[in-house]
A and B are shown apart, each in its own frame.
Chain A
């Protein structure tokens, strides 16, 4: 588990992985026993182009501190062109988040092929480190979801 040693902060990280390359790459890093932090939780999607920007915002809203999207390398998409659209959408989304003053390091896009198990693990390690260093996501969080929020009064048992 990636932890920020100074603050004790344990980040929550969501990784969207395309089924054909990156998810397979993640499997490969498992097969090769290449470690990466347990903070990283993977969601399988058919193609990186399936990832709607709203999923990423949703993840942040629900408490993610970092979101990473992995797909096939441009040109290698199982569906020929999917990741090209992903690339444009995500570039614009990242730019917009940055423009809104939201830490741009919290969102990342990486191309990981099915053969790049080592790259997958390395990418996840570095991403988790970066997010741990950044601290909790405060600029794009839903306060209602914050774990430390007061819970209200429990009515007396009747």
Chain B
């Protein structure tokens, strides 16, 4: 039988005034397995701890029970004391006889009786404790940032600045993301490219940063501190090491009618292209869907004009495998499809555009060279209607249930810029609410109304009908006037909802990071751990976690970087030893446990078992990665066979406590 020592603390009079500590020590001393039972004024004091340490050595104790204050207070103190006396720190149990006994009861007899019972329960538990050793794992000192928008760029720069190597994987041929497409930024109205492109260049020049552009994540394995990621480098048919970005090929390419995705299809590019002038890396790529050479082997013009011989029509997708200690998801957002809302006639008229398209129409590097012109006829629009909340704040069957957050502000920005540049243009904004929490935000939209004379109409647009004369009949409601309006507009701008990148869901699966029903990544704690995923080692940066504007995104990106740096600066990760573990002999492989695990700590494999009758049987069994498990125990209850148990809080330990308390 195990030898248990019991140590009852007086906590001065905190405990001793209401609990007869001598009686507790004496009664518990009579328990079958208890070989020493002592009381002392302050167990947590140095001399109290020495008493414990000496007893451990003198009696050869296998476990100790401290009847004292809450374990939340001094569990660690006593664990350390035990460890220094050679007893495994997890062979210590605390009976909370202060917060949960002496402080809440007045009757001494009652409190003493309860203290004894709590002590017995702790003894019952410690008899079933097992020595636990926290596992250690190394940390690969390299981070991966998935997504090269402003979120990914900022996170990567901050990590690199701290001296850790970091890789950016971007699916497009250039980093920059949505911010590169914007014209001006609210509320300061500074030029988006002017503040973004230096950061892009910093990325390219920082020796700690490696950019995998035109690349995708193929697979992820491993766990915090030690992920292995396979990256697919899509064939761009241009040798990155040779291309100088001179752009000669893009001028000579005969295929001229390829919709330019950077300008959202508002103009065309060639089949070989550089997305935009400040692209990083500034390397051409050939669009295999349009290139004549790749489609039918006829042309080869670009190859002929390239002075460095960078064109390689035989290039194929390649794969890179790299190990990382931390992974940052910064997959950003896309514009939700607005063509499903037939009433806005987005598909019927070129003059109904999304706000992002408007950004390009107003951008000096855009298709119109910065002059706002109607896409249909290239004329100057005189009446512009903005429609807010298109596809946001809907029931899930009708659109996105959330507020896209940025639309109110960028619409005010657009309206203001238009009124400033083209004072002869009337601008109407149909709004449901104007949401402007943020520094200088409300002031900003008030300026749009008060200084720039933008007409804000509380109401919605019910129907947009293109008229034969090229104008658009916008039928809407003015709820304050209780009127139905008809505005004859030249251009309508839809504040389309933003949605997480379509690639995020499959990525989340690879990362075992959880997502909400809208496909935004979920954070480890909505308030206290907003930049971490519940899966250890996975961090969240930018809109992939929820709608955000640029300052918020950058703030979160830096916060995320700080978390990553904190992780990478450790040499070893010490795990919590109170983790779940699965008994392979009992596991059914049913996946119930993995379904409830918030950390993706559970994986399955087919394992061969040698049966007692010498046959082998292959079964699917669960394995808990102790480096990832946080020890909540959800899996232990989900498991029907009882194969899953939690170290430190095992079924038998908890039931022993139950038994002791009910006695």
- Interface residues, chain A, with chain B CB atoms under 8 Å away: 1, 12, 14, 19, 23-24, 26-31, 33-36, 38, 41-47, 49-55, 58-59, 62-64, 75, 78-82, 85, 89, 121, 145
The CA-CA distance from A52 to B631 in the complex, in Å, is 15
In the bound complex, do residue B637 and residue A50 qualify as a contact, i.e. CB atoms below 8 Å apart? yes
- Which of A36, A43, A44, A49 contacts B634 (CB under 8 A)? A49
- Interface residues, chain B, with chain A CB atoms under 8 Å away: 70-73, 96, 98-101, 103-107, 110-111, 113-114, 117-118, 121, 514, 522, 524-526, 534, 578, 596, 598, 630-634, 636-638, 646, 649, 651, 654-655, 657-659, 661-663
Number of A-B pairs whose CB atoms are under 8 Å? Answer: 140
In the bound complex, do residue B104 and residue A35 qualify as a contact, i.e. CB atoms below 8 Å apart? yes
In the bound complex, do residue A43 and residue B658 qualify as a contact, i.e. CB atoms below 8 Å apart? yes
Chain B residues whose C-beta falls within 8 Å of the C-beta of A121 in the assembled complex: 104
In the bound complex, do residue B654 and residue A47 qualify as a contact, i.e. CB atoms below 8 Å apart? no
Chain A residues whose C-beta falls within 8 Å of the C-beta of B121 in the assembled complex: 41, 43
In the bound complex, do residue A42 and residue B633 qualify as a contact, i.e. CB atoms below 8 Å apart? no
Chain B's nearest CB lies how many Å from the CB of A137? 10
Given A45-B654, A50-B632, A23 and B72 contact (CB-CB distance below 8 Å):
yes
Chain B's nearest CB lies how many Å from the CB of A39? 9
Chain A's nearest CB lies how many Å from the CB of B536? 12
In the bound complex, do residue A45 and residue B104 qualify as a contact, i.e. CB atoms below 8 Å apart? no
Chain B's nearest CB lies how many Å from the CB of A43? 5
The CA-CA distance from A82 to B274 in the complex, in Å, is 49
Chain B residues whose C-beta falls within 8 Å of the C-beta of A23 in the assembled complex: 70, 72
Task: State the majority secondary structure of interface residues on B.
Answer: helix
Chain A residues whose C-beta falls within 8 Å of the C-beta of B654 in the assembled complex: 43, 45, 50, 52, 55
- Which of B96, B110, B114, B637 contacts A85 (CB under 8 A)? B637
The listed residue with most B CB atoms (<10 A of its CB), out of A45, A52, A59, is A52
In the bound complex, do residue B598 and residue A79 qualify as a contact, i.e. CB atoms below 8 Å apart? yes
Chain B residues whose C-beta falls within 8 Å of the C-beta of A38 in the assembled complex: 101, 105, 107, 110-111, 113-114
Given A46-B646, A58-B655, A79-B598, A30 and B98 contact (CB-CB distance below 8 Å):
yes
Residue in chain B with minimal CB distance to A147: B663
Chain B residues whose C-beta falls within 8 Å of the C-beta of A52 in the assembled complex: 636-637, 651, 654
Given A85-B596, A89-B637, A62 and B663 contact (CB-CB distance below 8 Å):
yes
Chain B residues whose C-beta falls within 8 Å of the C-beta of A27 in the assembled complex: 70, 72-73, 96, 99-100
Residue in chain A with minimal CB distance to B102: A30
The CA-CA distance from A41 to B514 in the complex, in Å, is 36
Task: State the majority secondary structure of interface residues on A.
Answer: mixed
Chain A's nearest CB lies how many Å from the CB of B116? 11
Residue in chain A with minimal CB distance to B114: A38
The CA-CA distance from A117 to B649 in the complex, in Å, is 24
Chain B residues whose C-beta falls within 8 Å of the C-beta of A85 in the assembled complex: 596, 634, 637-638
Chain A residues whose C-beta falls within 8 Å of the C-beta of B598 in the assembled complex: 79-82
Q: Which 4 A-B pairs have the closest CB atoms?
A: A30-B99, A50-B633, A79-B632, A62-B662
In the bound complex, do residue B114 and residue A41 qualify as a contact, i.e. CB atoms below 8 Å apart? yes
Chain A residues whose C-beta falls within 8 Å of the C-beta of B662 in the assembled complex: 12, 14, 59, 62-64, 145
Chain A residues whose C-beta falls within 8 Å of the C-beta of B663 in the assembled complex: 62-63
Chain B residues whose C-beta falls within 8 Å of the C-beta of A82 in the assembled complex: 598, 632-634
Chain B residues whose C-beta falls within 8 Å of the C-beta of A1 in the assembled complex: 107, 110
- Which of B107, B633, B655 contacts A46 (CB under 8 A)? B633
In the bound complex, do residue B72 and residue A62 qualify as a contact, i.e. CB atoms below 8 Å apart? no
Chain A residues whose C-beta falls within 8 Å of the C-beta of B526 in the assembled complex: 75
The CA-CA distance from A117 to B613 in the complex, in Å, is 58
- Which of B70, B103, B118, B514 contacts A33 (CB under 8 A)? B103
Chain B's nearest CB lies how many Å from the CB of A104? 20
Chain B's nearest CB lies how many Å from the CB of A65? 9
Given A29-B104, A31-B103, A62-B663, A79 and B72 contact (CB-CB distance below 8 Å):
no
Chain A residues whose C-beta falls within 8 Å of the C-beta of B637 in the assembled complex: 49-53, 85, 89
Residue in chain B with minimal CB distance to A114: B72
Chain B's nearest CB lies how many Å from the CB of A58? 5
Residue in chain A with minimal CB distance to B93: A44
Chain B residues whose C-beta falls within 8 Å of the C-beta of A24 in the assembled complex: 72
The CA-CA distance from A58 to B514 in the complex, in Å, is 34
Chain B residues whose C-beta falls within 8 Å of the C-beta of A64 in the assembled complex: 658, 661-662
In the bound complex, do residue B661 and residue A14 qualify as a contact, i.e. CB atoms below 8 Å apart? yes
